[in-house]
Structure 1
Amino acid sequence: MKVADCIINCLEAEGVEYVFGIVGKETLDLADSLSQSNQIQFVNVRHEQGAAFMADVYGRLSKKAGVCLSTLGPGATNLLTGIASAQLDHSPVVALIGQAGVERNHQESHQYVDIVKLFEPVAKWSTQIMDSLTVPTTFRKAFRLAQMEKPSSVAVVVPENFLTQKIAGKPLPIYPLPETVPVVETIQAACILIQNRKKPFIILGNGVVRQDTAPELQTFINTLQVPVTHSFMAKGILEKEHPSNYFTFGFNENDEVLPGIEEADLLITIGFDFVEKLPKHWNEKKIPVLHIDTLPAEVNEYYPVEIECVGNIKKILQSFNQSKLPAKSWVPFGNLRERIMKEYQINHSQPETINRPFTIEEILHSIEKISSDNTIVVADVGAHKVSIARTYQPKQPNRLIVSNGLASMGIAIPGSIGAKLACPQDPVICITGDGGALMNFAEIETAKRLGLSFIIIVLNDSMLKLEVQQMLKRFGESYGVTFENPDFVQLAASFGIKGLRAGNMDEFETIIKEELKTLDEMVLIEVFM
C-alpha cells in the first residue's frame, strides 16, 4: 500500500471518526485515501483555524484525540492558533500537516517554512516523517502522547514525496495508557495533613473534568464538608445549591472567592492547571498546599506544596474516601457564599416585568432555566465569557466549553460543530460576541452542509466590550475597539439557516424555548446589548 493508505489505516486503528481540514496540493493523496475509508468522515472546513477548534472541542467531549488536516505554508500557519489553544487547555488533538518534498527542505522555496520548528512551542510533540517505514510508529506515538496526561496537541508533518511511496507497514497494537497511584505512605501522610488542619479549602481545576472524577470528588467533598471553588473549566462538579459550592475563581478583577481562600490553613488543589490562574494571584499568603494531580507540582514560591499525590485522580480520591477522613464543617467568615452568589448574580433576582432589557446575566438565567441537564454551552472569548464564568451554572461537568488557556476569540462557532459531532444527542448552544462570531462565521456553511442543529446566540454591541471597559478604566476613553456589523439575521439567511432577532428578554425566552423544543435545524438569534 502507499504511505497515504497506511496513515489512514493508522487513524482508523486509533478510532478516529472525523478529520477536520482543508485539502491542498501536498495532501491530495491523503484526501484520496480518506475517500476510501468506511470509518472516517472528512469534514472539509472553510478555514484551518476552524478545523483546529473543531478538533479541540471534539477531543474534550469525546475523550479521544480530535484530528485536523492542513497543507503546507499558509495552511499550516492557519492551524497554529487552534493548536496552541488545545495545548494550553489540555485538549487531545493530532494535527496532520502536509509539507513540500524533502528535497526542498534546505533551500529557499515556494510556500516552504519549517513547520516542525513552527509548531514546537505550541504542541506537546512536533515531528516530521523522514522515513516512510516509521509511519506506524510515529502515529501510534502521536496519539499516545496527545491522549496521555496531561493531554495536548501533537503535530505530524508529512512531506509530499512520501505519500505515494509503497510500504508494507500496518498500525501498531494499541494498549491502555498506564495509570499510576501514590504509594500508601503518601496517601496516609496526606490524610494526616488534612486531619491536622482546621480549615482546608478545596480548589478544583480542569483535570477533574478530564478524568471523570465527579462521583469520587462529590463523596470527598461531602465527607470533609469544606468550601470548594473551581476554575472556569471545572464548572458543573457541584450542583448550584450544594452548601460547599463557592463557585468560580480566577478572575482578574472582583474575585469574590479570594477572602475564603485566604482564611484557609490548607489548600487542597485537585487537577488544577496553572494556565488557568497563577498561584501568585490567589495565594499571596503562601498557604500550604496538598497537591493532587496527574503530574508533579510546578515549583513556585506561591505554591508551597507540603505533600504531592500524583497519579490517576479518580483512584487517588477513592483512596481518600476509604480513609475515613473527619468532617471539618467550617464556613468562611461573613456569609461569603451568599455574597458571592449576589455579586456573581448566580440566582435570578430581577422582577418579571414586561419588555425586560437585555443583560448577559438575564440571558444566562434563561438558558439555565430552560435547557436540559445535558445541554452543552460553548462560549466564545470576550466580556461575555467572564460573565458566563461568574453567573452560568451548568448542571453537569464538561457541559461548559471555554478557551481559557490561550483565550482565543473565534472558537465558539467551529467549537459547536465539534461539540455536536462528539455528542449528537445533546443540545448545543453557542454564545458569541459579534467580534468572535465574524472571525469564523464561514463555518456556519460547514455546519449546514453536515446537517447539524444547534443554536447560535450573537451578542451584538459593535465593539470589543472587554477592551472598551479596560481602556475606559485606564484612560477614560477607548480607541480602536469599535466597528460596524452586518445584519446578522440576513447574514444567517444567506447561509440557509434561520435568523431571528429578539428585542427583549421575553422575546428571547419565547424563541429559545421553542427552538430547544424541536432543535431540528440551525438557528441564529441576534440580540443587541
Structure 2
Amino acid sequence: MKASDLMVKCLEEEGIEYIFGVPGEENADFMMSLEQSESIRFVLTRHEQGAAFMAEIYGRLTGNPAGCLGTLGPGATNLITGVADSNMDRAPMLVLTGQGASTRLHKESHQVMDVVDMFKPVTKWATTVWHPENIPEIVRKAVRLARTEKPGAVHIELPEDIAKLPCDKSPLPVRKFRRAVPADKIMDMAFERIGAAKRPLIIAGNGCIRRRASKQLRILCEKTGIGVISTFMAKGCVDMDAPYCLYTIGLGAKDIPACAVDAADLIITLGYDMVEYHPKLWNEGRSKDVLHIDFLPAEIDEHYHPEIEVVGDLAHSLWMLNERIDASDGLKFDLEQQAAVRRDMTEELERHAKDDTESSIRPQKVLWDARQLMAPEDILLSDVGAHKMWIARHYQCHEPNTCLIPNGFCSMGFALPGAIAASLVYPDRRILGICGDGGFLMNMQEMETARRLNCKLTIMVWEDGGYGLIGWKQNNEFGRQTDLAFGNPDWVALAQAFGWHGHKIDSAKELSPALRQALDEDGPSLLVLPIDYRENLELTRRLGEMTCPI
C-alpha cells in the first residue's frame, strides 16, 4: 500500500469516526484512501474554520478526537482559528493538512508556507511526515497527546509526494495508560486543610465536566454540603437543582456568586483553568487560602499560589477525599452565606420568567424559556458576543457538557458548525445554538452543510444590528461606543434559500411557542428575534450597586 493508505488504517485503528474538512490537490491521495474506509466518515464542509469547530465539538462531547482537514496554504490558514479554539478550550482534535512535494519546500513555491511552525503555538504538537515508515508512530503519538490531560489539538502534515510512496508498515495497536494518582500523604494534607476550614468553597473548572470527575464531585458535595461555583465551561458538573450549586462565575463585574468567594476561608479549585477566569478577579489581594486539585500542577501566577497542590487524576483524587470523609466523624461547616447566595441568585434567574405580556424580548426571558423547553440531556451551544455573557449567567444545567461555551480562545462563528457536530454525536437530543447576528454570519455557509446532512438542530439569532458585546464594554469604559452597526439579511428568506425552516418573532409572548415549534421540526430551523440589549447596561448598573446577602 501507499503512505496515504497506511495513514487511514492508523486512524481507523485509533477509532477515529469523523473527519471534517475541505480537501485540495495536495491531499488528493489521502482522500482517495479515505474513501475506501468503512469506519471513518468524511464530512465535506463549506469552510475549513467550520470543519475545525465541528471537530472541536465532537472532541468536547466524546473525549475522543475527530479530524479536521485542509489543504496547504490558505486551506491550512483557514483552519487555524478553530484549531486554536479547540486547543485552548481543552478539546482533543487531529488537524490534518496537505503540503507541496518535499522537493520544493526549501524554496519559494506556489502556496507553500511553513504550516507546521504556524500551528505550533496553537497545538500540543505539530509535525511533518517525512518518511512513510514513521506514520504508525506519528499517528499513535498524536492521538495519545490529543487525549492526554489537558486535551488539545495535534497537527500532522503529509506532503503530496510522501503520500504516494509505497510502504509495508502496519498500525501500532492502541494501548492506553492509567493516569497517575496522588500520594496518600498529600491527600491527607488536603483533607486536614478542608476539615480545618469553616467556610470552604469549590470553584470548578472545565476539568470537572469529565463524567467520572463530575460523579465524584457530586458525591463529595452530598457528603459535605460544600458549595460549587462553576466557570462557564464547567456548567453541569453539579446539578443546577442541588442546594450546593451556586451557579456560575466569570463575568468581568462582581456578581452574586462572588459573595460566596469573599466569605470563604478556603477556596478549593477543581480542574480549574485560568484561561477562563483569571484569579486576579477573585483573589486580587492574594489573601485567599487555595487548595489546588487538578490533573496538572498549578500555573504560576502571583494571584494563584496554592500551598497545597494535589496533582493526578481528578476523579480519583475526589474519590480519595470521599473515602477519607467516610472514615471521619463528619465535617461541619458554616454554609449560611452560600445558602444566601443560592437564594439570591435563584431569584435573579426567575426575575423575568413571566415577561410574556411585554413586547420587547429580554435576554433573561429567552434563556428562561429555553431552559424550560430543553430536557436535562439536551445541548445548548453559545456563540461569542453579548449573548454569551447572558447564557453564562442565566442558562444553568443538570448534566455536564450540555451547555457548550467557547471560553478560552473565545472564537465567534462557533455555534452553527458546533451544533452540526453535536447533532451527529447525539441525533436524538434537542440541539440549540444561540448566536448574535454578528457571529452567525461568520460561518453561515455551513447552513448548506446542515441541510445536506439533514441535521435536526435549531439556531436562534439574537438580532441587534451590531457588535453588541464590544458596544457594552466600550460604554462601560468610555461612556460611548464607536460605530459598530451593520445591516442584516431577510432572515426567513435566507432560511428558505438554504432549505431550512425559518421563523421571525417580535414579542416575548411569541417566544416559547416559536421555540418549541423550531425544536420539534425535522431538519434545521432558524429562529430570529430582536433582543433588548438595554439590559446590558442595566445589568452593569445593578451589579455596580450590589451588596452581598450577608
Taking structure 2 as the reference length, the TM-score comes to 0.93
Question: Partner of 1:483 in structure 2?
Answer: 486
Tell me how far apart the structure 2 counterparts of residues 304 and 256 of structure 1 sit (CA, whole Å): 25
Deviations along 1:195-253, one digit per CA (max 9) or x if unpaired, are 11211111100001135322211111122222221100111122333222211111112
SS of the residue aligned with 2:460?
Answer: strand
Number of the residue aligned with 1:275: 275
**Residues 20 and 45 of structure 2 are in contact (CA less than 8 Å); yes or no, is this contact kept in structure 1?**
yes
Aligned partners of 1:293 and 1:312 also within 8 Å:
yes
Measured in 2, the distance between the counterparts of 1:389 and 1:201 equals 20
Aligned to 1:330: 335
Residue 428 in structure 1 maps to residue 414 in structure 2: no
CA–CA distance in structure 1, aligned partners of residues 175 and 339 of structure 2? 52
Q: Name the stretch that deviates more: 152-161 or 350-359.
A: 350-359
- Aligned 8 A contact 1:136 1:170 in 2: yes
2:194 match: 194
State the 1:353 CA deviation: 4.2
Question: What corresponds to 1:299 in structure 2?
Answer: 300
CA contact (8 A) 2:378 2:430 kept: yes
Shift of 1:175: 1.0
The answer (yes or no) to whether the contact 1:227–1:331 under 8 Å persists in 2 is no
How far did 1:488 drift? Answer: 1.3
Contact 1:17-1:41 at 8 Å conserved across structures: yes
- What is the CA-CA distance between 1:336 and the residue it aligns to? 2.8
1:368 to 366, 371, 378: 371
For the residues of structure 1 that align with 2:180 and 2:51, how far apart are their CA atoms? 34
Candidates 500, 504, 517, aligned match of 2:503 = 500
Query: What SS does the corresponding residue of 2:275 show, helix, strand or coil?
Result: helix
Partner of 1:240: 240
After the TM superposition, which residues 285-296 of structure 1 pair with which residues of structure 2 at under 5 Å, given as runs? 285-286=285-286, 287-296=288-297
Shift of 1:424: 1.8
Structure 2 residue 20 is matched with structure 1 residue 34: no
Q: Equivalents in 1 of 2:515, 2:42: separation in Å?
A: 31
The CA deviation at 1:276 is 0.6
Query: How far is the alpha carbon of 1:135 from its aligned partner?
Result: 0.6
State the shift of 1:308 in Å. 1.4
Instruction: Tell me if structure 2 keeps the 8 A contact 1:205–1:272.
Output: yes
Mapping 1:90-489, distance limit 5 Å: 90-286=90-286, 287-324=288-325, 325-332=330-337, 335-342=340-347, 345-351=348-354, 353-489=356-492
Give the deviation of 1:285 after TM superposition: 3.3
User: C-alpha separation between the residues in 2 aligned to 1:130 and 1:63?
Assistant: 29
Q: CA deviation at 1:35?
A: 1.0
AA of the residue aligned to 1:524: L
Shift of 1:476: 3.2
CA distance in 2 between counterparts of 1:39 and 1:378 reads: 27
Partner secondary structure for residue 450 of structure 2: helix
Paired with 1:461 and 1:353, the residues of 2 have a C-alpha distance of 20
What amino acid is the match of 1:9? K
Question: Which deviations, in whole Å up to 9, do the C-alpha atoms of 1:39-86 show, x marking residues without a partner?
Answer: 111101000000000000011101100210100000000011011001
Report deviation, 1:472. 2.3
Letter in 1 for 2:319: Q
Deviation readout 1:285-334 (Å, 9 max, x if unpaired): 32121111001112222123121111111111111111125132423289
- State whether residues 93 and 154 of structure 2, in contact with CA within 8 Å, keep that contact through their aligned partners in structure 1: yes
Deviation at 1:96, TM superposition (A): 0.5
Q: Is the 8 A contact 2:518 2:526 kept in 1?
A: no
- How much has 1:507 moved relative to structure 2? 1.7
Gaps of 5+ in 1: none
- Give the structure 2 partner of residue 527 of structure 1: 529
Give the Å deviation of 1:350.
4.5
Q: Do the aligned residues in 2 keep the contact of 1:223 with 1:327 (CA within 8 Å)?
A: no
Distance in 1, matches of 2:338 and 2:285, equals: 17
> Is the 1:427–1:519 contact (alpha carbons within 8 Å) kept by the matching residues of 2?
no
Measured after TM superposition, the shift of residue 263 of structure 1 is 1.7
Q: CA deviation at 1:272?
A: 0.6
3-state SS of paired residue (1:274): coil
In the other structure, the counterpart of 1:17 is: 17
* Distance in 2 of aligned mates of 1:353 and 1:65: 43
Counterpart secondary structure, 1:236: coil
* CA distance in 1: counterparts of 2:148 and 2:434, whole angstroms: 30
Post-superposition offset of 1:341:
3.3
SS of residue in 1 equivalent to 2:268? strand
For the 8 Å contact 2:210–2:400, the answer to whether it is kept is no
Between the aligned partners of 2:198 and 2:179, the Cα distance in structure 1 is 32
For 2:379 and 2:171, how far apart are their aligned partners in 1?
34
* 8 A contact 2:126–2:156 mirrored in 1: yes
Matched position secondary structure for 2:529? strand
Of 27-36 and 499-508, the range deviating more from structure 2: 499-508
The residue correspondences of 1:62-77 to structure 2 (distance < 5 A) are 62-77=62-77
Q: Is the 8 A contact 2:353 2:369 kept in 1?
A: no
Contact 1:88-1:275 within 8 A present in 2 as well? yes
CA change 1:376–1:476 in 2 (3 A) is same
1:514 and 1:418 map into 2 onto residues whose CA distance is 22
Q: 1:262, 1:285 within 8 Å by CA — same for their partners in 2? A: no
TM-score (norm 1): 0.97
Q: Distance in 2 between matches of 1:240 and 1:29?
A: 50
The answer for the alignment partner of 2:89 in structure 1 is 89
Gaps of 5+ in 2: 532-550
